[in-house]
Amino acid sequence: MVQLTPDEARALGVLVEKSTTTPEQYPLSLNALTAGCNQKNNRDPVLAMTDDQVFDAVESLRVKTLVVRIEAGAGSRVHRFRHDAGEVLRVRAGALAVLAELLLRGPQTLGELRGRASRMAPMETLDVVRDMLRALSSRDEPLVRELPPAPGSRAERYAQLLCSDLHALETAPPRESSPVPAAVPAGGGLAERVSKLEADVAELRGELRRLAQALGEGEIGGGSDVS
């Protein structure tokens, strides 16, 4: 299976996105591609790639046959780039839009993917998106895999497998629960503790009485009147 670097993944995701969302500007010039890689909306993480980084990434994608460079015209130094991801990866437009969304924004739920990828291709229902993801994940060389729900959520998420280190895939560890205080014994627990305390007090009084008798002080609390 094709494996991408993070820079290649961002450049390819942008080319797939812009081919449908801004067709009037497509194929993209290097400047337009750099701007798309660094835009702040619909991106996670937000990057600050240089023209050189983007050029190196797109040239590497050309070697992997995922991108084609188009000469703008005789004597022009401006090159434009278009992707061939659908043909190389053997995925249809809708599934390619889902894959591009995962490249651009990282792991997402079924609902998030439907809402966000719909700007690139029609996503009529959640079942349609689920079928696309099932097809992408059940290939001999899967392009997508399911992740456990994020903490505090019950919705499964999905991540692309073209660039395994592009986004963190592990869920945050669950927070440790507060220790549960020991239960107070029910029923006669309190009465038993009171009885034990009374017995301890009586024993202490007996010890004090014996000590007082040994010292010739008489009984403690004996109640003798003092005239």
The predicted pLDDT at position 208 comes to 72
Nearest alpha-carbon partner for 212 in 201, 220, 200, 204? 220
- Quote the pTM value: 0.73
Assess whether 50 and 156 both reside in one domain: yes
Give the type of residue at 184: V
Domain boundary among 118, 144, 160: 160
- Asked whether residue 226 is domain-assigned, the answer is no
Domain span at residue 69 reads 6-160
- Asked whether residue 227 is domain-assigned, the answer is no
Q: How many domains does the chain have?
A: 2
Residue 129: exposure state from Cβ atoms within 10 A (0-12, 13-18, ≥19): buried
The predicted pLDDT at position 205 comes to 74
The predicted pLDDT at position 74 comes to 63
Q: How would you label 63-83 residue by residue, b for 16+ Cβ within 10 Å and e otherwise?
A: eeebbeeeeeeeeeeeebbbb
Token readout for 174 is 């669950």
- Asked whether residue 194 is domain-assigned, the answer is yes
Domain boundary among 120, 141, 160: 160
Assess whether 152 and 193 both reside in one domain: no
Assess whether 58 and 127 both reside in one domain: yes
Alpha carbon distance 37, 49 (integer Å): 7
Per-residue pLDDT of the chain (227 residues; tens, 9 = 90+): 899 999 999 999 999 999 999 999 999 999 999 999 999 999 999 999 999 999 999 999 999 999 999 987 666 678 999 999 999 999 999 999 999 999 999 999 999 999 999 999 999 999 999 999 999 999 999 999 999 998 898 999 999 999 988 987 654 444 444 444 444 444 455 656 656 666 666 777 766 777 767 666 555 554 444 44
Domain boundary among 144, 160, 176: 160
Alpha carbon distance 71, 91 (integer Å): 27
Geometric angle at alpha carbon 52, from 48 and 55, rounded to 5°: 105
Token readout for 143 is 């392009």
Alpha carbon distance 164, 155 (integer Å): 21
- Asked whether residue 29 is domain-assigned, the answer is yes
The predicted pLDDT at position 173 comes to 43
Asked whether the beta carbons of 37 and 47 are under 8 A apart, the reply is yes
CATH code where residue 69 lies: 1.10.10.10
